[in-house]
């Protein structure tokens, strides 16, 4: 028997219904006229008929519950992987762009701009501080003016290594995108903060040679490394005085128009709203402090949208970060909130311990 004379495979396909309709008709015509194939097909069908008598075994349920639990966990992991697949590159890109912005500061603070105001304020209040406190609504209490020990204005740290990193990062800076308004706002806010940071009496250096301070976090982390700076950041948004307005008129235009109303918190909110700052920030050459500051900014942004028990892990981490970064007052505030709002939790206990071991001011 050959396939040419008796299509054996086709007979099998015919019995199991795996032939297209036209081929099935052709094979059936052959079977109708071929005794041998008809007998083969009858035999196959006899076994198929008998096989239908095989009982459907009742499978046990042993292990079913744990299996389903295992599946649910796997589904959760898949969900997280899917989110992280998008979040990490976005976060990395955000940090890279942001660091580039910090590195490429304008050559001179625009007279009349917030930076200029801050400098003027610095002259008037040498013992002030530029550090902006955490948003009041985050911690459920109003912002209070900070008092810091009087200290002479000091330039931001300018280690050669940082200079090199800043230079490298500037080279990687993303070109300005006219469409990314929110990002520009963030850049403006960061640049404003950088301008407000006291630069001592040193003359403004060309941007290419400007030293980039370790990237402070957005949203309240401004000038965290410049504690003791003479300007109060919470006054940055104050309207200029008449004298300042006059100075603005007579001053040369800034190289780039800054959004005067954009506070750092706005920048954080914008980034959070666009999802550009939606995940832990990887180290993009910032150094540990820079990473911590970026992470802190992200936590603050998240906390503005997070209520109830979900805020606990964020607050606990923020507490630890504030301690590590040396933000004493913020540490007291955040860790105190953890202890106060979530009593009896391990996080509250850890926060209490951190408060006890805070270095003296």
Residue 56, interface with other proteins (CB under 8 A)? yes
Query: Considering the complex, what minimum distance in angstroms separates the CB of residue 277 from other proteins?
Result: 23
**Are 212 and 162 contacting, i.e. CB atoms less than 8 angstroms apart?**
yes
Near other proteins by CB under 8 A: residue from 40, 133, 225, 265: 40
Indicate whether 5 belongs to the interface with other proteins (CB under 8 A): no
Closest C-alpha to 223, from 102, 324, 339, 61:
102
- Near other proteins by CB under 8 A, which window of 41-49, 110-118, 253-261, 324-332? 41-49
Q: Does 307 bind other proteins (CB under 8 A)?
A: no
* Shortest reach from residue 88's CB to other proteins, in Å: 17
Give the one residue of 21, 54, 161, 242 binding other proteins; rule: CB under 8 A: 54
Distance, in Å, from the CA atom of 309 to the CA atom of 342, rounded to the nearest integer, reads: 8
Residue 161 found at the interface with other proteins (CB under 8 A): no
Residue count, binding to other proteins (CB under 8 A): 47
308 and 330 in contact (C-beta within 8 Å)? no
Q: Is 59 in the site for other proteins (CB under 8 A)?
A: yes
CA 248 vs CA 28, 58, 235, 337, 357: distances in Å: 96, 86, 18, 42, 47
Nearer to other proteins by Cβ, of 76 and 157: the residue is 76
Return the closest-CA partner of residue 231 out of 132, 113, 331, 111. 132
Q: Judged by CB under 8 A, which of 25, 29, 67, 158 binds other proteins?
A: 67
* Contact positions vs other proteins (CB under 8 A): 1, 8-9, 12-13, 16, 18, 36-37, 39-40, 42-60, 62-64, 67-68, 70-72, 74-82
């Amino acid at each position: 028997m050959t396939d040419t004379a008796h299509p054996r495979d086709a007979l099998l396909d015919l019995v199991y219904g795996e032939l297209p309709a036209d081929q099935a008709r052709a094979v059936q015509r052959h079977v109708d006229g071929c005794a041998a194939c008809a007998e083969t097909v009858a035999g196959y069908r006899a076994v198929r008929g008998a096989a239908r008598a095989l009982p459907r075994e009742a499978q046990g349920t042993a292990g079913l519950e744990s299996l389903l639990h295992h599946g649910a966990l796997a589904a959760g992991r898949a969900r997280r992987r899917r989110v992280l697949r998008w979040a990490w590159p976005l976060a990395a890109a955000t940090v890279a762009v942001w660091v580039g912005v910090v590195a490429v500061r304008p050559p001179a603070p625009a007279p009349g701009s917030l930076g200029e105001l801050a400098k003027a304020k610095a002259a008037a209040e040498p013992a002030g501080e530029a550090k902006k406190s955490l948003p009041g609504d985050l911690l459920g209490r109003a912002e209070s003016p900070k008092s810091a020990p009087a200290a002479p204005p000091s330039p931001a740290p300018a280690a050669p290594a940082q200079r090199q990193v800043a230079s490298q990062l500037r080279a990687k800076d993303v070109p300005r995108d006219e469409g990314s308004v929110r990002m520009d706002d963030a850049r403006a806010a960061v640049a404003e903060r950088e301008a407000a940071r006291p630069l001592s009496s040193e003359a403004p250096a060309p941007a290419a040679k400007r030293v980039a301070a370790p990237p402070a976090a957005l949203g309240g982390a401004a000038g965290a490394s410049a504690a003791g700076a003479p300007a109060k950041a919470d006054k940055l948004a104050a309207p200029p005085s008449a004298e300042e307005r006059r100075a603005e008129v007579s001053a040369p235009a800034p190289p780039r128009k800054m959004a005067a109303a954009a506070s750092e918190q706005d920048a954080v909110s914008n980034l959070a709203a666009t999802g550009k700052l939606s995940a832990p920030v990887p180290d993009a050459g910032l150094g540990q402090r820079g990473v911590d500051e970026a992470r802190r900014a992200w936590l603050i942004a998240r906390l503005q949208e997070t209520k109830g028990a979900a805020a606990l892990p964020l607050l606990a981490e923020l507490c630890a970060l504030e301690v590590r970064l040396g933000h004493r007052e913020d540490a007291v505030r955040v860790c105190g909130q953890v202890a106060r709002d979530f009593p009896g939790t391990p996080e509250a206990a850890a926060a209490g311990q951190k408060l006890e071991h805070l270095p003296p001011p």
